[in-house]
Structure 1
C-alpha cells in the first residue's frame, strides 16, 4: 500500500500468461510545492532478462535514462521506491533493482566480472543473483591483486503495517550501501586510478543468511583469486550521534585497516563502536564469508549505531530519513581511502 507522503513513480504492470511487461510511466507524486525527485527521461534504456519462476518466465523493464539517475539522491530514491516492494530475494521487484544496477555499471564502463554481470545461485528454493562488475588494475604487477567493494541490495520485502504502509523499503538497509558502491564504481571508472583490480559486488540474499556473499566468496576462492581486501558497506544513511568519526568498522581489532584507512584519508573517518563488538556484527554481514574463505582483512563499515533501531527492518526505513549530504561527504572520503588501498606498493593492510 502506498504512503501518500512518499514521492515515488508509478510502474504500470500488464500481466499475461508466463509474461510480465513492466513499464516505468512518466508520472510522479510531489508533496506540496516540492518538485518530483526522480524524473524519468523520455529516452529510456530497455533491459531484458530471464528468470525462472513458474508464473513469470520473463521480465522486461524499461528503465529511466540512466545518465540522469547517477546522483546519490536519485539512486537511493529508485532503489527504495514503493514499486520495488522492499527488494525481497527472488521477487520480480528485486529484478528491477538488479537491472538498474547492471545498467549503471554499463553506463559507467564497469565490465562484467563473469560472462555477464550476474552470479547466479539458489536461495531457499528461489533463483537469486549477485551483480558483479570489474575494473581491471592499471599496474602490470598490482593488477593481479583484487580489492572487493561490496554491499547487499536485497531487503526483507514487507513488514508490520504502520499507518497502512506494509512496504519495508530498506532505504538505509541497504539501498544506502548499494548507492555508495555504485557511486564508487562511477568514480573509479572515471578516474581510472586503480592500480589494483577492483571488483564491485552487490549481493542478494544477505537477509536470508549471507547466502549471496557466501556463494561468491567460495567461487572466488575456488578460482584462486588473489584477494587483498574486502570492503563492505552497510547502512550508512544516518550519521552516528556524538562520535568523532563518521563510520565504524566491524571486526575493528582484527586488522590494521582502521588505522591505515584513516591515514590514507587524512581524517578520523573509521572508528570503534562497542555495540558492534557486543553484537558480533563482524559475523553478521557480507564481509564475513570472505574472511572465512580467504583469511584477509574483510570489514563492514557502517554508521548504524543503534540510536534509530526502531527503523531497522521496519516500514519506517524511508528515504526521507536519509541524510544525503552526509552520504555524499562520506562517499567522497571513502574514495580517497580506497585510492590509498589501491595504490600502495605493497599490501599495507594486514590481519593482526
Structure 2
C-alpha cells in the first residue's frame, strides 16, 4: 500500500509500531486498537470441489513473490523483473491472452524501466464482452530498507504478494472455465509504492482507448483476518457506490463491510483503484482485510510469508470468485456510483 505519512505521524497504523511481538491483550471492536495477528494456518494443498484455490496454492505464490531472491520487488529492479516473468508465465499457462501486443504495459519512471503485466479473458457474450471489469493488485514493493536484526529486505508478503495471489487465482479460474460474459482484464501493477504510477499509466491508456469500463476491483493486503468484526474484508470508499451491497448480495453473506479507519485516512485514494475512479468515474474500489489495526509490519522487514494466514486468504478468494462471476454475468450494470 502506498505510504501514508500522516498515519506514521499519528503512530496509529501502517506499521509505525515496529515491534515484532504480534500478541496483544484481548481484542475489541474498536478499529483503532491493535488486534492480534493470528498464527498461520495451512490446510491441504488439494482444493475441495467448490474451491478455486487452496491454502497451499496461495502460499506457493506468496512464497515466490516474497522470497529473499526477489529482494523486495522494487520498481526497476531485477527482482520485480523476475516477478513480472512469473506473472506473465502464469497468465499464459492459465489461457489468458495479452490485452496489448504483449503482456507487458511498459512505461518509464524517471530512468527506470517499469511494466504492468496485463492479461485478458474475453467475455463469452457477443454484446456484454464489450464491457470490461479490471481485476488488479500491485506486485511491487519497496526493496531493501534499514536493517533490523541483520535483515534489510522488505519482502512485502502482505503488501502485496497477498493481493497478487488473489489476482492470479482468479485469472486461473476464469482463464480455464471462461464463464464470464463481460471481458475481464487481469493486471498486476508496478510503481504503486512510488505514487500509484502503474495504475495511473494503465487507466489513462485504457481511457484513451475509450473502453467501456464497468467496474474495477483491486486486492490489497488480504493476508491476515480481522478479529471481532462481522465481515471478512472491507472496501475502500464504501459509501461512494453500491459495490459492497452487491458483493454481499452475490456472496449471500456479509463478506465485506465498512472500516472507520479506512474512512478516517481516506484509503480510497491510497491504492490502485483510485486511478481508475479518476479516469472513468465508475465504481473502483480496493478489497482488503487489513486496515493495519491488525498488522504490525507495514513497510517492515518482517512482512514475511510466515506472518500470513493462508487458510483465511484462500477462503476469501474462493468466496470472491462467484461474486466476480456474478458481476461479469449480470444482464445489466447493477453496480453503480451513489448519488452524493
Shorter-chain TM-score tier:
0.7 to 0.9
Mapped to 2, the partners of 1:94 and 1:272 lie a distance apart of 33
Partner of 2:67: 81
Normalising by the residue count of structure 1, what TM-score does the alignment of the two structures yield?
A: 0.79
Quote the residue 1:350 is aligned against.
336
Larger strand proportion of the pair: 1
In 2, Cα distance between the equivalents of 1:290 and 1:111? 22
Aligned length: 285
Is residue 281 of structure 1 aligned with residue 267 of structure 2? yes
Inter-CA distance 258–276: structure 2 relative to 1 (3 Å threshold): same
Deviation per CA, 1:42-84: give whole Å up to 9, x if none: xxxxxxxxxxxxxxxxxxxxxxxxxxxx921111100000000
Given that 1:173 and 1:235 are in contact with CA atoms closer than 8 Å, whether structure 2 keeps it comes out as yes
Once the two structures are TM-superposed, the CA of residue 242 in structure 1 deviates from its matched residue by 1.1
- CA shift for structure 1 position 190: 1.8
The structure with the largest alpha-carbon Rg is 1
1:149 match: secondary structure: strand
Q: Distance in 1 between matches of 2:296 and 2:168?
A: 27
Asked if residue 296 in structure 1 is aligned to residue 307 in structure 2, the reply is no
* Range that drifts further, 131-140 or 309-318: 309-318
The alignment partner of 2:59 has SS state of: helix
* Alignment pair present for 1:106 and 2:118: no
User: Which of the pair has the greater relative contact order for Cα pairs under 8 Å at 6+ separation?
Assistant: 2
Contact 1:240 1:305 in 2 (8 A): no
| 2:110 maps to 1:124 | yes
Q: Distance in 1 between matches of 2:219 and 2:87?
A: 16
- Pick from 310, 316, 336 the counterpart of residue 296 of structure 2: 310
Q: How far off its partner does 1:340 sit?
A: 1.0
Q: What CA distance in whole angstroms lies between the structure 2 residues aligned with 1:205 and 1:221?
A: 19
Unaligned regions of 5+ residues in structure 1, if any? 1-69
1:333 paired with 2:319, answer yes
- 1:165 and 2:151 are equivalent in the alignment: yes
1:264 aligns with 250
CA distance in 2, matches of 1:264, 1:190: 22
In the alignment, which residue of structure 1 is the partner of 2:24? none
Deviation at 1:241, TM superposition (A): 2.1
- Gap runs ≥5 in structure 2: 1-55
Moved over 6 A (4+): none
